[in-house]
Each structure stands twice: as structure tokens, then as C-alpha cells.
Amino acid sequence: MPRVRSVKITKTRRIGGRLYMLLTKGFDTKAEAEEFVRDFGLRRFLLIDIVKGTDGKWYVYGAARLQYGRARVD
């Protein structure tokens, strides 16, 4: 399993040229964060990134799937 680097949590992050917005408060485990994403079906509408904050909690960021006016299929 790859080592997880903690990052400072801000309201927005730029990842790969896309603007991701913070969607949640911190979860205690990554599994809880993944369950939240799965339960609400967020991957259908958003690109999701789950990151570990410097406080040890897990946060969910999301970005629109639309890019340049077209739906992007990953």
C-alpha cells in the first residue's frame, strides 16, 4: 500500500489543471470517506479525490466532470 502524504486542507485545490472544491468535514478513516462517496453516488457527477489532512482526518474533494463544454469520460 502506498504511503499517504498529509496535506494542508483548504477550501479549494488545483489538481491536474482542475479546480477541486472541499465537499465534506473530516472523516476518521478513508473507508468512511469512500462510503460517503459511494452512498451518494458522487462519482457519477464529479471527479473525486480523497486526501489525508495534516490533522490525520480524511477529506473529500470534488470537481465537475465537464471540461471545455463537453462531458469528459474517464
The answer to whether residue 48 sits within a structural domain is yes
Exposed (0-12), middle (13-18) or buried (19+): which is 44, by Cβ within 10 Å? exposed
Question: How many structural domains comprise the chain?
Answer: 1
The answer to whether residue 24 sits within a structural domain is yes
Distance CA 70, CA 17 (A): 16
The answer to whether residue 57 sits within a structural domain is yes
pLDDT at 39 over 90: yes
pLDDT in tens, 14-38: 888 888 999 988 999 999 999 999 9
Q: Can you point out the beta strands (E) in 1-74?
A: 12-15, 18-22, 46-52, 58-64, 66-67, 70-71
User: Looking at residue 16, what is its pLDDT?
Assistant: 81
Higher pLDDT, 72 or 28: 28
The answer to whether residue 52 sits within a structural domain is yes
Give the CA diameter of the chain.
Answer: 37
The answer to whether residue 4 sits within a structural domain is no
The answer to whether residue 54 sits within a structural domain is yes
Averaged over 53-58, what is the pLDDT?
92
Higher pLDDT, 41 or 8: 41
Q: What is the pTM of this model?
A: 0.76
Mean pLDDT of the chain: 84
CB count within 10 Å of CB 24 equals 16
Boundaries of domain holding 40: 12-65
* Location of C-alpha cell 490533522: 55
